[in-house]
Amino acid sequence: MLQAERLAVKPFLQAVRFDAAGLVAAVVQDAATHEVLMVAWMNAESLRRTLELGETVFWSRSRQEYWHKGATSGHVQRVVDLRVDCDGDALLIRVEPAGPACHTGAVSCFYRGLALDGPQSDASQGDASQGNVPPIQSDQPHQAADADTRR
Amino acid sequence: MLQAERLAVKPFLQAVRFDAAGLVAAVVQDAATHEVLMVAWMNAESLRRTLELGETVFWSRSRQEYWHKGATSGHVQRVVDLRVDCDGDALLIRVEPAGPACHTGAVSCFYRGLALDGPQSDASQGDASQGNVPPIQSDQPHQAADADTRR
């Protein structure tokens, strides 16, 4: 993991930009394996509780309540690093997880991938034994915005 | 990176749940270094273009236009793996980046971190030379929702 510019709590919190619903996206990454485990949401209070507790506390959009990850399952996520992105609308939380991140029991919530064994393959199920997959090929020209500044 | 269940294009796309604004969060990770590079947004069309091109194409919320990452800077992100999370509202895109992800020139947009050198440190600037940081300490009990099912 690259070195980060380190901010104190107050400037760090000031750098976070919550959206119109008061939320910021939080990417949770295993600090040891670097596996991306899950994406969840935080409001200002859940971020405050995360800092206070040293474990992830999210805001559940579906249940509309605070969600201390692992409170029932025991699979808490101990926070070892907290980052904010350049425009403040996403957090990266590196953790030591006490168990699987996903409610399905999977280590990561990202356990489903696209089978890229050919250009827009239509095989009903890909080969789960493959690690890296080849890039998607296309001979069609691409028309997209030619700007690469801010999102 | 853990193995994934591999889906063909159609079931994969059907697993993606766009929000009320037609967007899904996309976490971009360097496939080689495992660094989380950025979080951006995709709508159905930008996801389609990403698959077609084999490079990331986002939807810029601020500019309200498609954003082919690297179209001007040359710092395209070649897609080597595409994942969807358990509830379909986030994508994980593992890439081979041709240059820095951030418009600031930083490799990752997450170049700012919280200085965790003590309980809610108030130092104006942390030590950027430190790699891992100790966990946040708190002796205050935490009251959060005791559910750990879905977000």
Q: What pLDDT is attached to residue A40?
A: 98
- Cβ-nearest to A85 among B65, B109, B116: B109
Are A46 and A62 contacting, i.e. CB atoms less than 8 angstroms apart? no
Chain B, 28 to 87: residues with Cβ < 8 Å from chain A are 29, 31, 34-36, 38-41, 49, 51-55, 57-58, 60-63, 65-73, 75, 78-87
Residue spans per domain, chain A:
9-97
The ipTM (two decimal places) reads: 0.80
A18 touches chain B (CB under 8 A): no
| Residue B116, token pair as written in the block | 């965790």
User: Hey, is the C-beta of B19 within 8 angstroms of any chain A C-beta?
Assistant: no
Residue B1 has a pLDDT of 64
Partner-chain residue, chosen from A10, A92, A120, that has the shortest CB–CB distance to B51: A120
Confidence category of residue A144, pLDDT binned at 50, 70, 90: very low
Query: How far is residue A142's CA from residue B17's CA, in Å, rounded to a whole number?
Result: 25
Residues of A with Cβ-Cβ distance to B15 under 8 angstroms: 112
Does domain A9-97 fall under CATH 3.30.160.100? My reply is: no
Contacts of A64 (CB under 8 A, 6+ apart): none
Using an 8 Å CB-CB cutoff, list chain B residues near A38: 85, 90
A44-65 pLDDT, tens per residue? Answer: 999 999 999 999 999 999 999 9
User: Mean pLDDT across the stretch A71-89?
Assistant: 97
Residue A142's Cα: distance from chain center in Å?
Answer: 28
* CA gap B105, A40 in Å, rounded: 27
Predicted local distance difference test score (pLDDT) of residue B54: 97
Q: Are A145 and B70 in contact (CB under 8 A)?
A: no
Within 10 Å of residue A74's Cβ, how many Cβ atoms?
9
Chain B residues lying within 8 Å of A111, measured CB to CB? 2, 4-5, 83, 86
SS (HEC) of B56-117: CEEEECCCCEEEECCCCCCCCEEEEEEEECCCCCEEEEEEEECCCCCCCCCCCCCCEEECCC
Condensed to tens digits (0 to 9), the pLDDT of residues A89-135 reads 999 999 999 999 999 999 999 999 999 765 443 333 333 333 333 34
For residues A31 and A94, is the Cβ–Cβ distance under 8 A?
A: yes
Distance CA A28, CA A101 (A): 9
Please report, in angstroms and rounded to a whole number, the separation of the first and last CA atoms in chain B.
Answer: 24
Q: Report the pLDDT value the prediction gives residue A20, as an integer from 0 to 100.
A: 92
Is a pLDDT exceeding 80 seen at residue A140?
Answer: no
The tens-digit pLDDT sequence of chain B (151 residues) is 667 899 999 999 999 999 999 999 999 999 999 999 999 999 999 999 999 999 999 999 999 999 999 999 999 999 999 999 999 999 999 999 999 999 999 999 999 999 976 544 333 333 333 333 334 433 333 333 334 444 4
Distance CA A69, CA A74 (A): 8
pLDDT band at residue A4 using 50, 70 and 90 as cut-offs: confident
- As given in the structure block, the two tokens for residue A109 are 């919530």
Whether residues B148 and A70 touch (CB distance < 8 A) is answered with yes
> Residue B95: what pLDDT?
98
At the fourth CATH level, the homologous superfamily of domain B1-133 is: Phosphoribosyl-AMP cyclohydrolase (3.10.20.810)
In this prediction, residue A3 carries a pLDDT of: 77
pLDDT at residue A84, as a whole number: 98
CA B143 vs CA A1, A50, A52, B147: distances in Å:
32, 11, 11, 12
Contact B6, B24 (CB under 8 A): no
Q: Does position A23 have pLDDT exceeding 70, yes or no? A: yes
Residue of A111, A100, A135 lying closest to B5 (CA atoms): A111
* A24 reaches B (C-beta below 8 A): no
